[in-house]
Every structure is written in structure tokens, then in C-alpha cells.
Structure 1
């Protein structure tokens, strides 16, 4: 997920030092009662969330907050090394968490480990590709990102206003197999491909605007988003779907970490244990306004047993083609921060694209 936005001031957050309150920094909606009510009741605690939108905002909030203000942070995997470098994260004991319940591909997810030590536990993930209006485009028309340059798409290509997923998918469209690890020549390919799309653009959208732009057909194609948006729209009757084009897609990953300065290490650990338990995972997958894939095979098993229709909708059936099969196709690249250019260089290109 993710979008860069103006930093919501830390002072708006009502921090509590009560041992019965867990202070949580996370994406919007992650303190929904659907997800946490059972945890709060079982431990006689309250989860108090400070919401952010975008990894840059999350980092800014942590830098401006007094030490001990937050106990748990949910972050995208690509920001994990920056959190580690800033010394925000508590090293975790892998034995404390049900990693053996996870699919093998995610038991030692590389972006969560540093020098053999674990600092974060994956809670959910999804794939980003090309989302499209199914009444305007047939599936065979969207098998390549090249459809964004078609006459049918002129003035109808929307963009999620977050440089990382949008430029990552355009980088794949430009032929870069490692979309964020680019030489100068490959970065030029990305730049040229991006600028070629300017005349096709319908606008640059926040998450909320993406929903409305698809609903009113202001946009009929949007790269860099995925089923976490189109599933919800389809359930509301909007004719949209997401495909991973032949050039590939991106995996976004959210995970939980304990802040080193937290005075509530035990409560923070219990919260992550709840979220990564089979029940917590099944709830994470099926939150009504934001359905996601989950890394826990035990969570899949519970989902198939208790909510089989949801398991089918989310392509998390154990004996049918599913999202793990898609991961194994090798068409999915991890969403990461740029390797050979600065974040500012990528953001500058994104700003130039929007203002062209």
C-alpha cells in the first residue's frame, strides 16, 4: 500500500503511558474493531492507533515523536532497513512468533532480517499490477502494460499518487526486470516510458480518489494498484479487475515491529502474536473494506474451514490455483526503495511527470 502525504503532526496523537494501552503506528483502519476487539477483550487493553499514509510520513512521525511514544509500528517492507538504520527497532526472537505456520516462501522474508536477526513479522501482502474496467477492456487487451498507450486508454489512465508503486510498474513496462535496481540507462528507460504516458493520464489520485475515479469511469486503467482496491469495488458492483501483465507485477508487504523505546515490550509482543495467529490472520484477510492476502498457511486453513466463500474470492484455496502459485511464477518483484538512485531523484521524476 502507500502514498506520500503531508505529515500529520505527532501532537495530534493522544499517547498513553498506561500499561493497559498499546500505542500503535499504522496504516488507516488497522485498529478496526473487526481486527482487534478479541485481542483487547482477552488482554483487557485498548489499542490506540496513530494513522499515517505512506512510508515517508511514518518515518517523519517516528523521528518527531518522543522515545516511548509508540509500542508497535506497522510498516511496508521496503522501509524496514531505514527503520533499522535509525535504530528504532527491537530485535525479535523468531521463536516468539508462529513463523512455522507461514508458507515456506515467507518464513524468512529477506527484507525483515538483518545479519541473521529478525526485526519484523509479515502480517499481510498483495500484488500490484494493472487494474482495469472490465466493460471497457477485455482480459486479453490488458496482458501488457502497453495498453496504457492505446487510443482507447487516452485520457483514461489514472495514477496512484505515490511514486514507488506507480513508477515500479512503469519500470517493469519499460523492460526493467529488476524495477528498482536500475543502471543509468535503465533509469532513462523508465523516465522515457513514464513521460510517454503523460498525455494518457486522467489524473493523480489518493486512495479514496481511486475508488471514485473507477466508479465514475474517470479512469479505466490504473497501474500500481491491486486487488486490495478492486475486490472492494467489485463487491460494490463496479466492473473492475486486476491483472499481472506479462512484464510482471510488484509485491507489497506489511509487517509489524516492536519499537526499541517501547516500555510495553511484552504487550507489543502479544499483539503481534495475536495478529499472526490463525484467527488474527483470517480476520486480517477478510476486513470488509480492505481484503488482503496473508502469509500464514494455518490462517488459510482456518479461512477455508470457516469462510470458504472468502477463501475462494481471495484466491487462497489450498487445492486450487492461488496467490502463492502466482508468487512462484517469478513474475512478481518485491516493492523496494531505489537502489542506485536516491529517493529524491525518483520523487523529482514523479513530480516532473505530474507537472509535464
Structure 2
């Protein structure tokens, strides 16, 4: 989902250094250690090279990274139990966070300890104050400009444009985007997101599709597919590599990859966890992540500069057009929906 290059990394580190001179809020915690779960790959590299050194300098604390994914972090929490979680703070997709929240692992945020929360866009204030969106990648419709005569303008074009048939890519149901594709189809062709009968029927009418767990870029690069749901940052990186591609904001709204930050109710370093949460949603860190990963800043005080608007087109008022979903419904019916997907989507 994210990539890095040396030029952006050096520029980002310079910007972060300038911000550090001004100081982030939060008491210093010399000698304390915060365990931070993080994704691997370039995400881990960025945290180790830039985010964590700045946080340690500001707080006097030490940080230990635990590299994994939402499924792993959830399994670790459940293995440890509610009373003795291994983490104080977790950033993960809402589809995983919603289950852990219902099981009692997270607490409602004490907003007096998160001053930057007030500047978040409404859609980044998650679950009535239980969480804050720390990283957001909107998903539009990506396509090959050299292989498509009529560019898409809406999600319904996946069904209505005959030149797309047999050349469509989808995320499979294991990916949160696959689940969103089902809910989106249910909204488009049924009563609402819960009308999954209509959603599955609609998806079956797409005909044969290329399904992947996480990487649609290869199929788009080879021309095996010409259109698919894509986050704008990934399309921007493919464009930088010379591939003739574009990504549009659909008329019905965008989907999104999210990473939401939650505080463990019984975490061992509660004060430090709150400082870390506020640090990640601060304007300086949100801007730095935008420049590195082409994410849409969730802090409304960050303005996307002109030179980045093609790569980060969803910001400001457009944030209100991001579609949200009932992940409790998905999780409660996970097994049935996954089985039905396997039987329905060719």
C-alpha cells in the first residue's frame, strides 16, 4: 500500500526535524517503553527511520516495534486477555478494531489528552470517540488510459461499460476492500449495505474477474485487467514508473483503506499511548505521511499543496464523500459471507 524513495525520505526527515524544534505536546517519559504494533515493509522502514526517532526525542521514552498485521495484533491481544494486553495502543484497520472494541479491549478516548482530535475530519473520529484515523488512503477507480476508450466516472460503469467485461480486477474477500466491494454493490443495486443478496447478485453479473488479496498493480501493469478499485497513492506510484494510468473519484463516493488508532483499556503505558496517538494525528506527522505515502491527511489543518493534488485528490470537502460501513455486521456474518463469496464470484 505504501512506498518510499530516498528523495522523499530525506525531505520528510528535514520537515520533521523542523517540527520537532517546536515540540509536541505530552509529558516526557524518560525510561518508559512503548510497544508499537506496525505493518512491515516500507511502513516499518518509515517508522524506524523517521517516526519513532522523532517520538523518542520528544518524549524521552523508548519504543519497541512489533511488526505484523491486524489479524496478528488481534490474536496477540486475545491470547494475553483483557487484563494484561501486550500493547497500550494499536493502529489497525477498522474491520479488526471493531471486533476488539466490542470485546472490551479499547476504551473511549479521553479527549482532554488528545488536543489534535478536535481538528480531525468528522469521518476520522471513529465509533463515537473510541478511535482516531491515523492513516487514510481513499479508493477510487483506477484504469489504463491507453487501453480504455471510455474512462469510468462511476462505480456503476464496472457493470455498464461493455469494454470492461472480462478485464476487471477486484480485491478478494480476505482483504477489507473485498468486503467493501460487496457492501458497495449492495448499496448500488439493493436497499442498503445490508442487502447482500442484491450485492452478490450484482457481483456475479460482472462475469469473470481477476481476484487478488493485496496486489492489483501487477495485473494492471501487464494489461490483464484495465480497471479496478485502486487507492490513489498506488496509481500515483504506477504513474511515476511510466505506466499510462489514472484514478477517478466515482460519482457515488470513494471507499478507503484506513488505519485507526485505539487505546487499550488496561494497557501498561496509558499516558505514553495517548501522547503517541496525538503525535500521529498532529498536522506535522499527517503532512509528512502525505508526502511519503500519498495518504489523505485526516487532520483538517493540513492543506494539500498544488504539486500533490493529482496524487492526493481527496481532501477538504471531498473527505465527506468517503463511504463508511457497518463492520460489526460484516464481522458477525464473516463466515457466511466468505463462503458465499467463494461460491459466487468467478
* TM-score normalised by structure 1 residue count: 0.74
The equivalent residue for 1:281 is 286
* SS at structure 1 position matched to 2:141: strand
The equivalent residue for 1:63 is 78
Instruction: Report if the CA contact (8 A) 2:279-2:285 is conserved.
Output: yes
**Structure 2 counterpart of 1:260, from 248, 256, 265:** 265
Query: Unaligned 5+ residue runs, structure 2?
Result: 2-29
Per-residue CA distance 1:309-349 (angstroms, 9 max, x = gap): 2356423xxxxxx5333244x5x420332638712222112
Q: Shift of the alpha carbon at 1:56?
A: 4.4
Describe the shift of the 1:19–1:349 C-alpha distance in structure 2 as closer, same or farther (beyond 3 A): farther
* SS at structure 2 position matched to 1:298: coil
CA distance in 1, matches of 2:60, 2:149: 51
Describe the shift of the 1:270–1:82 C-alpha distance in structure 2 as closer, same or farther (beyond 3 A): same
CA distance in 1, matches of 2:67, 2:150: 36
Per-residue CA distance 1:132-158 (angstroms, 9 max, x = gap): 112222564453433356553343212
Q: Shift of the alpha carbon at 1:42?
A: 2.7
Instruction: Report if the CA contact (8 A) 2:300-2:316 is conserved.
Output: no
The equivalent residue for 2:133 is 122
Instruction: Report if the CA contact (8 A) 1:180-1:339 is conserved.
Output: no
CA distance in 2, matches of 1:295, 1:127: 11
Query: Unaligned 5+ residue runs, structure 1?
Result: 2-17, 316-321
CA distance in 2, matches of 1:73, 1:152: 43
More displaced stretch, 168-177 vs 20-29: 168-177
Asked whether 1:95 is paired with 2:112, we answer: yes
Q: Shift of the alpha carbon at 1:279?
A: 0.9
**Structure 2 counterpart of 1:112, from 101, 120, 127:** 127
**Structure 2 counterpart of 1:43, from 32, 52, 59:** 59
**Structure 2 counterpart of 1:206, from 206, 213, 228:** 213
* SS at structure 2 position matched to 1:131: strand
Per-residue CA distance 1:45-86 (angstroms, 9 max, x = gap): 443333344x44543332124623112100223444322221
The equivalent residue for 1:82 is 99
Describe the shift of the 1:248–1:172 C-alpha distance in structure 2 as closer, same or farther (beyond 3 A): farther
The equivalent residue for 1:298 is 301
* TM-score normalised by structure 2 residue count: 0.76
Asked whether 1:337 is paired with 2:342, we answer: no
**Mapping for residues 1-356 of structure 1, pairs under 5 Å:** 19-28=31-40, 29=43, 31-53=47-69, 55-65=70-80, 67-97=84-114, 98-103=116-121, 105-106=122-123, 109=125, 111-113=126-128, 118-138=129-149, 140-148=151-159, 150-162=161-173, 164-173=176-185, 175-176=187-188, 181-182=193-194, 186-199=195-208, 201-202=209-210, 204-207=211-214, 209-223=215-229, 225-287=230-292, 290-300=293-303, 304=305, 309-310=307-308, 313-315=311-313, 323-328=315-320, 330=321, 332-337=322-327, 339=329, 342-354=333-345, 356=346
Q: Matched residue pairs, number?
A: 309
Aligned Cα RMSD in Å?
3.1
CA distance in 1, matches of 2:190, 2:286: 30
* SS at structure 2 position matched to 1:334: coil
Per-residue CA distance 1:91-115 (angstroms, 9 max, x = gap): 3211221123334x347x3x332xx
